[in-house]
Structure 1
Amino acid sequence: MLRVALSRTLSSKDAITEGYYFSRLRDPDCRKMNRIALLTCLLTVSLMNQVSGLETVTGKYGDTIEIPCNNGRVGEAEVTFVKWKYDKDGNILVKNRDQNATVSNDVNYKNRVSIKKDFSLVITQVAMADQRTFTCMVVQKEDILEYSVQLAIYKVPSQPQITNLTTVMAIGKLTTLAQCHSEGANPAANITWFKNKAPLVADGTAIKITTNVAVDKETGLSTTTSTLEYTAVKGDIDAKFSCQVQHIKSANMDSSPLVFTVNYPTEKVSLQVVSQGPFKEGDNVTLKCTADGNPPPSSYNFYINGEKKTVDSSTYTLTSVTRENTAEYKCSLVDNEDIAASVPITVEYLDVVLSSTGKIVKKLGESLEMTVDVKASGATQTSWKKGNAKLNSLPKFDKLTYSDSGVYECVVSMASLKKTQTFELVVEDSPIIKNLIKERGEGMTKVLKCAAEGFPKPTVQWNVNGSNVESAYEHGKVTYSLTIVPKGNLTVSCTVSNVLGSDIKSINVSTLVEDVTMDKQDQKDEYSDQMKLAVGIVVGLMLAVLVIGLAFWLYMKKFRQGSWKTGEKEDGSAEESKKLEENQSQKADV
């Protein structure tokens, strides 16, 4: 139950009425009446009592409400009779002292009312029809009092609901966006529209808001409906609209945000290259044309090599582009070619041509000079390799050798482009034997080594039998080793050959015993030769000393003669001449 305090205010007529009541009770005619007649008389008199101001009790729709009698300040011991009524003639219930309350047959309250011990009236399931004036009439001994209360019913509105929602707005055109309504309220709810959380204010032209309140005949509750008409601008793209229901008995309630599609004409197009550059010959290049209008165009004009192509798409792909596709490309609206955009496209290219490619065969000792011709759309870098080895420059050969043979690679790069050209150089010639020697092997064996050069690889043939081993063939060189056990003196021949020719050399080979004798004789001859050489050196040195002494003696003699003065004796003293001769003699001995 909901109980709300109230107070009453009586008019100045209360005192006069009270005196009137008592004067009537003293009247002999009234004393002759029975008790019921007396009560009827008193009730009739009480109608003269008018209340100048009413207190209000507020109740929630559908709840049980308690309406106090004189704010609950009625003394039970003093009350002999209580009656509740509504408006002027509506009777609700009557309660006499020490008796149960009697409820009237009024269909409005027959099954919904009761009275409490303090004489408060209890009404269940209050409705809008209960929003009226209720009066509590109390008889206390010789006094009759009335307390009137105004009952006010409130009902919280429902959550806002959006109906008649549109989806598209056009710029500059007044469009009915939606209706927002809230049902079952008392008093009627208020509705406010918002854009991006800012309230919209109707101006009668660009913004129109129409509000309607309808009251249900059965329930008496109100439904508020608000219609929003709005003229969109370009800034309304992605704007969030909402409505808010406001009521004095509840918190504000917001609808879900509404986002509308805003249509507007195209003012500008842009052209972009979707594919990732830089582009080289053979690539596919996709162009995309976009417009700032909504909805965007479904077709565009593309201008390819000066030719207009209308496509039902926003993209156009150039397949397998070449250097001739380097140009300025353009797109435009189909219905307005003045609204257009352009973008340049550059196709990179790189051409590398060697003066010779493939397999190049040259003779030993010939010359070879390679050239490379590079044509490119930008700056390039060139590098050379032979096998896995890096070369510092373009290979140039004045006189080819077997070691010059191999695979050469030329790599030219520019930005993301790279071209590789190769050639294989083959240096060939008929074989020649560079050396044929013999060496002692193990035991009684001898090893003959035949070193040859040539390309293709020469094969070997010996004129004697033995164990033949060959070395690794590198740079046109190979060595064949033959191990034999000679039984006597013999001549061994080494023959090497390939498709271009052959060469042969021979060597004399003897047994191991003869080699030892020959070695000793060779050692004796070598010792004799060494002795002869030593004697010759000593004799030569002695002759050199004599020549030097004689030259010095002649020099000194000439020097002495040149130092004589005129008029002096040509011959010196005998003693001086003797000393001079001794000195010369000593130098000569040295």
Structure 2
Amino acid sequence: MDRMLNFRLNFPPSPSLSRSRSSDRLAVVMVRPTSAGSCKQTVRALYGETIEVPCNDGNNKPEGLIFTKWKYIKDDGSIGELLVKHLQKDEATVSATDGYKNRVSIAENSSLLIARGSLADQRVFTCMVVSLSNLEEYSVEVKVNKIPSAPVIKNKAKELENGKLTTLGECVAESGNPAAILIWMKNNQPLVDDAKTIIIKSTVTKDPATNLSSTSSRLQYTASKEDMASQFTCMAKHVLGPDQVSSAEILPIHYPTEKVNLQVLSPSPIREGDNITLKCQADGNPPPTSFNFNIKGQRVPVTNKDIYTITGVTRADSGMYKCSLLNKDEMESTLFVTVSFLDASLSPKGNVVKKVGESLVVSLEKNSSAEAKVKWTKDKDTLDKLPSFSNLTYSDAGLYECDVSIEGIRRTFFFELTVEGTPKIRSLTKHRSTDGKHKVLICEAQGSPLPDVVWSVNGTNDDVAYVKGKATYKLTVVPSKNLTVTCEVINKLGSDKKEINVFSLFEEEKLSQDKSEGGAAQAKVIVGVVVGLFIAAALVGLIYWIYIKKSRQGSWKTGEKEAGTSEESKKLEENNHKV
């Protein structure tokens, strides 16, 4: 329904306006508000900041603009005036007489500016634009928001009891508008009120001076042992965001002891002479501080600590150990403790000297808390097993080591076996050197200790090689005549010698030449014999042919009978074959 507005304007004369009296500067203008006056815009502002209320979004300077006026609806529904801005004046005229008197101003774009915004500014403000031809009103509803303070958990419980519904704490987010929504969380997961194990009650209160809202939420929670490390937080959600989360709270969970556990803190294995430290643990919270230790049948109570130490243990200390609560013996834990030990001895040991062919008995005795491992080596080389020494040879000599061990304990023994024997020459050989200018004699002998060698001639002795009782001696000579050379080997147990004939280099070359010439003569003789045999065979064939020819001519001359001639021919042929 349109309504007629009567108001007085104070402006210079204009030809577009009718006058009732020429000398009168006042006029009554009848205007109808446009449809824009019925629209209402909403603006959100921040508490404590300057509130800017737009006038038709800045589109508020029509042709013939006379003035702009701002007014508001009071709490009782009446209209209150704020200010007027005339086009001809630089400054606006503030008409407010209440709390807005020193807080309102107008911007260049005709927006209303309200300093130090508060919740009392949540109301409808109207911008009235008056021109020569029209009057327009634009209503704006102002909403003032404030982010509440970060949530804080207050009145926290000192501890929670297992299986018992307990007030964990109260979460508070203060001075917000609108009021914050509080959500309890455990390990970043929201808790849901089930009216049994989890009960959450939230309340909102307003400050009468500021009208700001504070939200509080109380959490009652039924804890379990699994909540020992649980983190409880409170999150505040608000329209202005972002979400705010309180500091995490970890509360101790009280529950009675259900299990006792006995441990050995000393490193394994425990050997004779070590200390054994026992620790008795209980799963209750708060944990018990006093216990009974049962040391192989002897009860030892300890107070205000959970460990007990046995010093300088022996193998006799191996056995069953127990611990229990000081006032509840039936709640106990048992543990078998083993003290490791290793006794071992080897016979023989040190330096052992034996003769070739003799026997040697080796014995190893051991006693240990666990099966011992035995490892044999000879001259640092691993043996599968200790060899038999029933008939000693030079190769049996060497350094034997025996390593006996169990976990954490090791014993090492050794003996060095020397096998002695009278020297014995195995071979005495000779050969010419590579350059052909020397003779090299090699004498190989067995014996221990290392035999000394004595040659019957002078020469150059090479290094002696001695391995496992076998010695090799070399002598380089330049014989000028034929010699008989003797190699003699000697040690403390005896000696042995052997001879070898050595030709001079000149005689050896002559013999070699004679052998070559004799071989040529032999070849000639063989060739002659072969040729003679061929000639003899040819002569025999020729004689036989002549003989057969003459025999046949004679029968034709005498005219003998064919039969007789045939018999004689056969006999003659048989005789010739025999020949």
Q: Could you say which TM-score interval applies, normalised by the shorter chain?
A: 0.5 to 0.7
Say if 1:327 and 1:105 are closer, same or farther in 2 by CA, change over 3 A.
Answer: same
Determine the structure 2 residue equivalent to 1:222.
213
Preserved CA contact (<8 Å) 2:148 2:179: no
C-alpha displacement at 1:124, in angstroms? 1.9
SS of aligned partner of 1:339 = strand
Matched, 1:472 2:465: yes
Matched, 1:456 2:456: no
Preserved CA contact (<8 Å) 1:234 1:262: no
Determine the structure 2 residue equivalent to 1:340.
332
| Structure 2 residue corresponding to 1:64, chosen from 42, 52, 55 | 52
Preserved CA contact (<8 Å) 2:83 2:96: no
Preserved CA contact (<8 Å) 1:332 1:341: yes
C-alpha displacement at 1:345, in angstroms? 3.7
Determine the structure 1 residue equivalent to 2:152.
162
SS of aligned partner of 1:372 = strand
SS of aligned partner of 2:357 = coil
C-alpha displacement at 1:213, in angstroms? 1.2
* Equivalent AA in structure 1 for residue 231 of structure 2: K
Determine the structure 2 residue equivalent to 1:261.
251
| Structure 2 residue corresponding to 1:237, chosen from 228, 238, 242 | 228
SS of aligned partner of 2:120 = helix
Whole-angstrom CA distance in 1 between matches of 2:65 and 2:496? 161
Determine the structure 1 residue equivalent to 2:558.
none
Preserved CA contact (<8 Å) 2:200 2:217: no
Preserved CA contact (<8 Å) 1:273 1:285: yes
Gaps of 5+ in 1: 1-8, 19-30, 43-52, 520-590
Say if 1:490 and 1:444 are closer, same or farther in 2 by CA, change over 3 A.
Answer: farther
Preserved CA contact (<8 Å) 1:128 1:220: yes
SS of aligned partner of 1:396 = coil
Say if 1:359 and 1:203 are closer, same or farther in 2 by CA, change over 3 A.
Answer: same
Say if 1:466 and 1:107 are closer, same or farther in 2 by CA, change over 3 A.
Answer: same
Whole-angstrom CA distance in 1 between matches of 2:449 and 2:142? 123
* Equivalent AA in structure 2 for residue 456 of structure 1: P
Determine the structure 2 residue equivalent to 1:425.
417
Matched, 1:397 2:408: no
Determine the structure 2 residue equivalent to 1:92.
81
C-alpha displacement at 1:333, in angstroms? 4.2
| Structure 1 residue corresponding to 2:282, chosen from 291, 301, 317 | 291
C-alpha displacement at 1:264, in angstroms? 1.7
Matched, 1:109 2:97: no
C-alpha displacement at 1:381, in angstroms? 5.6
| Structure 1 residue corresponding to 2:490, chosen from 484, 492, 496 | 496
Preserved CA contact (<8 Å) 2:154 2:172: no
Matched, 1:362 2:354: yes
SS of aligned partner of 2:413 = strand
Cα deviations across residues 121-156 of structure 1 (Å, max 9, x unaligned)?
94623533345677999999xxxx999989664323
Whole-angstrom CA distance in 2 between matches of 1:392 and 1:96? 116
| Structure 2 residue corresponding to 1:127, chosen from 118, 125, 137 | 118
Preserved CA contact (<8 Å) 1:263 1:293: no
Whole-angstrom CA distance in 1 between matches of 2:173 and 2:380? 86
Whole-angstrom CA distance in 1 between matches of 2:478 and 2:425? 21
Matches within 5 A, 1:361-380: 361-379=353-371
Whole-angstrom CA distance in 2 between matches of 1:402 and 1:84? 126
Say if 1:306 and 1:110 are closer, same or farther in 2 by CA, change over 3 A.
Answer: same
* Equivalent AA in structure 1 for residue 232 of structure 2: F
Gaps of 5+ in 2: 7-19, 31-37, 512-579
Matches within 5 A, 1:132-143: none
C-alpha displacement at 1:158, in angstroms? 1.8
Whole-angstrom CA distance in 1 between matches of 2:503 and 2:100? 155
Say if 1:476 and 1:166 are closer, same or farther in 2 by CA, change over 3 A.
Answer: same
C-alpha displacement at 1:359, in angstroms? 1.9
Preserved CA contact (<8 Å) 1:384 1:408: yes
Say if 1:254 and 1:235 are closer, same or farther in 2 by CA, change over 3 A.
Answer: farther
Cα deviations across residues 155-194 of structure 1 (Å, max 9, x unaligned)?
2332433153647423157765444333333444444434
Preserved CA contact (<8 Å) 2:439 2:479: yes
Whole-angstrom CA distance in 2 between matches of 1:231 and 1:461? 105
Cα deviations across residues 400-419 of structure 1 (Å, max 9, x unaligned)?
34443322334456678665
SS of aligned partner of 1:236 = helix
SS of aligned partner of 1:154 = strand
Matches within 5 A, 1:497-536: 497-498=491-492, 502-503=494-495
Preserved CA contact (<8 Å) 2:457 2:485: no
Whole-angstrom CA distance in 2 between matches of 1:186 and 1:296? 47
* Equivalent AA in structure 2 for residue 161 of structure 1: P
Bigger Cα displacement from structure 2, 328-337 vs 198-207: 198-207
* Equivalent AA in structure 1 for residue 357 of structure 2: G
Preserved CA contact (<8 Å) 1:486 1:509: no
Aligned residues: 461
Say if 1:220 and 1:257 are closer, same or farther in 2 by CA, change over 3 A.
Answer: closer
Whole-angstrom CA distance in 2 between matches of 1:399 and 1:92? 134
Cα deviations across residues 384-409 of structure 1 (Å, max 9, x unaligned)?
44335555544333343444332233
* Equivalent AA in structure 1 for residue 465 of structure 2: A
* Equivalent AA in structure 1 for residue 449 of structure 2: P
Preserved CA contact (<8 Å) 2:479 2:502: no
Whole-angstrom CA distance in 1 between matches of 2:437 and 2:250? 111
SS of aligned partner of 1:408 = strand
SS of aligned partner of 2:465 = coil
C-alpha displacement at 1:115, in angstroms? 8.4
Preserved CA contact (<8 Å) 2:271 2:341: yes
Say if 1:360 and 1:318 are closer, same or farther in 2 by CA, change over 3 A.
Answer: farther
Say if 1:507 and 1:270 are closer, same or farther in 2 by CA, change over 3 A.
Answer: closer
| Structure 1 residue corresponding to 2:400, chosen from 391, 405, 408 | 408
SS of aligned partner of 1:129 = helix
Say if 1:496 and 1:134 are closer, same or farther in 2 by CA, change over 3 A.
Answer: closer
Output the aligned Cα RMSD.
6.1
Say if 1:177 and 1:390 are closer, same or farther in 2 by CA, change over 3 A.
Answer: closer
Cα deviations across residues 447-468 of structure 1 (Å, max 9, x unaligned)?
9998765543444668x78458
